Amino acid sequence: MQAYFTEKYMEVGVDEVGRGCLAGSVVAAAVVLPKNFHHSTLTDSKQLSEKARLEIEMYIKENALAWAIAEASVEEIDKYNIASASVLAMHRALDKIFTQISPELILVDGKYFKPYGFVPYACIVKGDAKFFSIAAASVLAKNYRDAQMRKLAQKFPQYAWEKNVGYPTAQHKKAIAQYGVSPYHRKSFGICKFFL
């Protein structure tokens, strides 16, 4: 893992979570870390246990220069499509960051982004496994979204969101076939559209 993309500029790492889910919002986080930041186990949130992610989240929030979490709703996903809604969530997280601090370079996980004002950006495939700031953003976004889906699972226990957090597991798809879709399902996604 690298501490920074370039030593010259203040960087903000951005990542989103939930693009491949059938239900729930898409959540993005943005994190600005000091240049000397290091953590021995921080990496892509998908590679970490829940316990490790929660411990790392505390460390990130204590040591980051700035951090923010934002989301795009199910309605926005259905209206704009998931790729555009993901960028919308990232831009909202950046809006919050720029009220706290002024990064000079945006590091984005993946290869899809839309310009944020005039701030230069770099799209990095598998960036959450390469740069601490992007990995930190992935951890904050995943922890936030998982907690959100567990809360929704209390209202809609039939979909087992406390386990699958909205992803298209066999159990989740079977529940959609049996019970139909909830208000939190993405109606524009194939299987959800089929059972409307």
Reply yes or no on whether the pLDDT at 56 is more than 60: yes
pLDDT tens figures, 123-174? 999 998 999 999 999 999 999 999 999 999 999 999 999 999 999 999 999 9
pLDDT tens figures, 4-31? 889 899 999 999 999 999 999 999 999 9
Average pLDDT estimate for 83-94: 97
Q: What is the 3-state secondary structure (H, E, C) of 12-28?
A: EEEEEECCCCCECCEEE
Q: CATH classification of 11-150 is 3.30.420.10, yes or no?
A: yes
Q: Give the residue with greater pLDDT, 3 vs 122.
A: 122
Please state the domain extents for the chain. 11-150
Integer angstrom CA distances of residue 150 from 23, 110, 159: 12, 26, 11
pTM comes to 0.93
Question: Given this model, what pLDDT does residue 194 score?
Answer: 55
